[in-house]
Structure 1
Amino acid sequence: MTPPEAAIDRRLVLWNIDLTLVDVTIVTRDAYAEAFRAVTGRPLVKLAPAMGRPDSEIIFETLAINGIVVDDGHLPRFIEALARSFGDRRKRLAKEGRAMPGAKDALHAVSRLDGTVQSVLTGTVKSNAIHKLMAFGLDKYVDFEVGGYGEEVYPKASLLQVAQGRAKDKYRAPFEVVLIGDSTRDVQAARIAGAAMIAVASGRSTAAELTEAGADIVLPDLSNASEVVAAVARLTDRYVGGRQ
C-alpha cells in the first residue's frame, strides 16, 4: 500500500472480519473439524462459540469441551492445522460464504479519507484472514502488515495497541484509531485501549447491546457507505489534520 501523505496526521481504521465484513461460517466450521481431527485423532463433537473471541481462545475451549487434556503443544499444532485446512477450502469461500452488505463500498469509501490506513483486528489467524478478504475482493483496501490476528495470544485490547504500534513504526507517524466491529467484545476492547468504536449490528450483538457496551456510534450495517465514512470522520476529524 502507498502510505498517506506525510504532511498530515493519520487515522488507523481497524476492521473486525467475521460478521462485520464477511460471513464464512460454514467453511470455518469445516476447517475447524478437520484441524481438530488432525491434532487429536478424534472427530469434533462441539465447536466453542466465537462470540468475538480469537482463534486461540476458541481452540483452547474447543479442546476442553471435547474432553482433550491440553498441553503446551496443542495450540501451535492446532493453529498450523487450522491454517492448512482453511487454506485447502479457500475456493469454497466465495461460493458458500458472502461479503456482508455494503462491505466493499464501505472499505473503498473509507480508503478515500485523507490520511487513512485500513487494517484488521480479528480473532482469525493471519493467513485465514487474508483468504477471507481475498475471496471477496476486499483485500486491496487493507494493509495486513499492521493488523492484529488470532494466533497472537493477547487480549483484544492489547492486540489493538500492538496494531497501533505497528502502524506507527511502519508509517513513522502517530495514528488516531477507530475500531469497526460487530460484537460487545470489540466494543470492550476499544474502550480499554482508548480507541474510538463504530459498532455494526450485523453479528450476534443487538444495537441495544452494542450501545450499552459503550460504542461511540452504532450502525445497523455497512450498506450506507456515506454513513460509515461520516462516522469515521466524526470520531477522528478533530485530531487528524490539526483540527481541534
Structure 2
Amino acid sequence: MILQEAAINRLVLWNVDLTLVDVSIVTRDAYAEAFRAVTGRPLVKLVPPLGRPDSEIIFETLAVNGIVAEDDHLPAFLKELAAAFADRRGRLSKEGRMMAGAKDALKAVSRVDGVVQTVLTGTIKSNAVLKLKAFGLDKYIDFELGGYGEEVYPKATLLQVAQSRARQRLGTPFTKANTVVIGDSTRDAQAAKIGGAGMIGVASGRSMASELREAGADIVLPDLSDAAEVVKAVVALTSPVDSPVDSRGI
C-alpha cells in the first residue's frame, strides 16, 4: 500500500475475523494440520477464538488436548500454522465469506481525510494478509502498521504497539483522540478501552450489541452494510469533540 503525501492523522484498526471476513472452516483445518505436525497427534478440540490471539489459542489448544507446552511449541506451531493456511489459500473465497458491507466500508473509510487503515487482529500476520487478499480487501490496508497474533502481548498492548509503529512511520502521535478500533468482540472493546482508542463495535460476530456496549464500545453498529454510518462513526471518534459521543445517536 502506498500512502498519500497528505498528513495522516487518523489511525483505523480493523479486527479481521467476523468483522471483515469469516474463514473459520479453513482456519480450523489449518489448525488441525499444524497440531498434528507439531505434536504427532490428531486435534480433538480447538478452543474458540473469542477475539484472542493465535498465540493464546495455541497454548490453550495444546492444554485441552493434553499436551504440556514446551519452549519450542509456540514457534513451531506458528510456522506450521502459516504453512498449512497458505496451502489452503485457494479455499478461502470458496468456503469463506466476506462480511456484509466490508469492502464498501473499507473503501469509504479510505476516503476520509487523514486516514490510514491497518489491522489489530489475533491472526498471525501472514494469515491475516491471505484472508483479506482472498476477498480483495488487502488494497485498503497498510499491513506494516498493524498488531498480530504471533506477537505475545495482550490485545490492548498490541494496540499500543500499532500506534507506536504508525508514529515512527508517519511522524504523528496516535492516541485515543485519533485512533479507533473496529471489531466484533468484547475483547476488541476491552482492548480499545484499556489501550487508548475509540471503539466501534460491530454486532456481526459472537458478541451482541448490548455486550459490546457493556465492554466499552463507544458506538455499536449492527454490521458494516451502511458505509456512510461507518464513516460517520470513524469521524466522530477521531475528531476533537466537546462532549462524549452518544452511541444511540449514530
TM-score, shorter chain, exceeding 0.5:
yes
Partner residue of 2:223 out of 221, 224, 228: 221
Cα deviation 1:140-186 (Å, max 9, x = unaligned): 00000000000000010000000011011111122321000000000
Residue correspondence of structure 1 range 207-218 to structure 2 within 5 A: 207-218=209-220
Find the residue that maps to 2:71 and give its secondary structure. coil
Q: Deviation at 1:5?
A: 4.1
**Hey, what's the Cα distance between the residues in 2 that align with 1:131 and 1:159?**
20
Match of 2:238 in 1: 236
Listed as ranges, the matches of 1:69-108 within 5 Å are 69-108=68-107
Deviation at 1:120, TM superposition (A): 0.2
Identity within the alignment, %: 74
* Structural mapping, 1:35-184, within 5 Å: 35-175=34-174, 176-184=178-186
- For 1:55 and 1:182, how far apart are their aligned partners in 2? 17
Which amino acid counterpart does residue 2 of structure 2 have in structure 1?
A: T
The structure 1 residue matched to 2:205, chosen from 203, 206, 213, is 203
Please give the alpha-carbon distance, in whole angstroms, between the structure 2 residues aligned to 1:127 and 1:24.
Answer: 14
Give the structure 1 partner of residue 244 of structure 2.
none
- The alignment's TM-score, normalised by the length of structure 1, stands at 0.96
1:185 alignment partner in structure 2: 187
The runs of 4+ residues in structure 1 deviating greater than 6 Å are: none
Whole-angstrom distance in 2 between the partners of 1:148 and 1:135 = 20
Asked which structure has the greater RCO (Cα within 8 Å, sep 6+), the reply is 1
Deviation at 1:4, TM superposition (A): 4.1
Aligned length: 238
TM-score using structure 2 length: 0.93
Matched letter for residue 165 of structure 1: S
Structure 1, unpaired ranges of 5+: 240-244
Question: Equivalents in 2 of 1:184, 1:236: separation in Å?
Answer: 21
| 1:121–1:147 CA contact under 8 A, matched in 2 | yes
Give, as a single letter, the amino acid of the residue that structure 1 aligns with 2:87: D
In structure 1, the residue corresponding to 2:199 is in which secondary structure?
strand
Q: Look up the match of 1:29.
A: 28
Distance 1:228 1:133 in 2: 19
